[in-house]
Structure 1
Amino acid sequence: MVAHFRMSDLGALSYYLGIEVRQEKEVLSLDQNAYASKLLERSGMAKCKPYVTPMEERLKLTKASTTAKVDATLYRSIVGGLRYLVHTRPDIAFVVGYVSRFMEDHREDHWATVKRLLCYIKGIVDQVIVFS
């Protein structure tokens, strides 16, 4: 028995998995502004002061940290959200990869780095990636 599938034209793509897509004559732009704003709200950082850099210069984090442990669910949830945000924010890829190393045993200094990154995102929340 052969299954028959029908394709229908749903028009131009405008939204896909949290990524807003705008297609113009010779330009395609992608953004996750709404997703980034929701991530800031979820983390309690929506009203933070924006930073101009995503991470402190020469920051050294270690798995042997002795600072206090932080809420595992919150840390993993926010870092997971940041990993998804990298799709349209390649400028945060290094820091997200760095804080992802501490998913098993995350401490206060690791969380402080995540919060710093969220403050950076607050300052760039309206940026868009453009392909011409």
Structure 2
Amino acid sequence: MSDLGALSYYLGIEVRLGKEALILVQTAYASKLLERSSMAECKPCMTLMEERLKLTKASTTAKVDATLYRSIVGDLRYLVHTRPDIAFAVGYVSRFMEDPREDHWAAVKWLLRYIKGMVD
């Protein structure tokens, strides 16, 4: 067995050792998520969700690529480990993974814009 030194990176989570705290961040993971979703150059926003957003499974808007939607939402669910501020919004958009529509995708894009503004 060999000593590899202090832990600094594990499963996409950066570990920073402070004097009094252990800090877990996923800055690189969030940046890669924005690139995969083609939102790396988007305009950041400071709010997590649109105010009074009402999404339903009975939406009549156009369908979106379900595989892409599920992939992005799954990545967001992994990001929740170090970003509890997005937990409610990610849970909300997760409800529509069976049959995602344009309005559901718009909510995910809004969330990605929030992440762009709060990567650190």
Q: Which category of TM-score, normalised to the shorter sequence, fits these structures?
A: over 0.9
2:11 partner amino acid: L
Is 1:98 aligned to residue 92 of structure 2? Answer: yes
SS in 2 for 1:22: strand
Q: TM-score by structure 2 length?
A: 0.96
Q: Which runs of 5+ in 1 are unaligned?
A: 1-6, 127-132
Is 1:65 aligned to residue 66 of structure 2? Answer: no
1:21 partner amino acid: V
Q: Which has the larger radius of gyration?
A: 1
Which residue in 1 is equivalent to 2:106?
112
Question: For 1:38, which of 27, 32, 40 is the aligned residue?
Answer: 32
Q: Which runs of 5+ in 2 are unaligned?
A: none
**Distance in 2 of aligned mates of 1:102 and 1:23:** 38
* C-alpha distance after superposition, 1:92-120 (max 9, x if no partner): 00000000000101000000000000000
* C-alpha distance after superposition, 1:47-84 (max 9, x if no partner): 11111111011100000000000001110110000000
Tell me the number of residue pairs that the alignment of Structure 1 and Structure 2 aligns. Answer: 120
**Distance in 2 of aligned mates of 1:116 and 1:22:** 29
Which residue in 1 is equivalent to 2:47?
53
2:5 partner amino acid: G
Which residue in 2 is equivalent to 1:24?
18
The structural deviation recorded for 1:28 is 1.1
Runs (4+) of structure 1 exceeding 4 A deviation are none
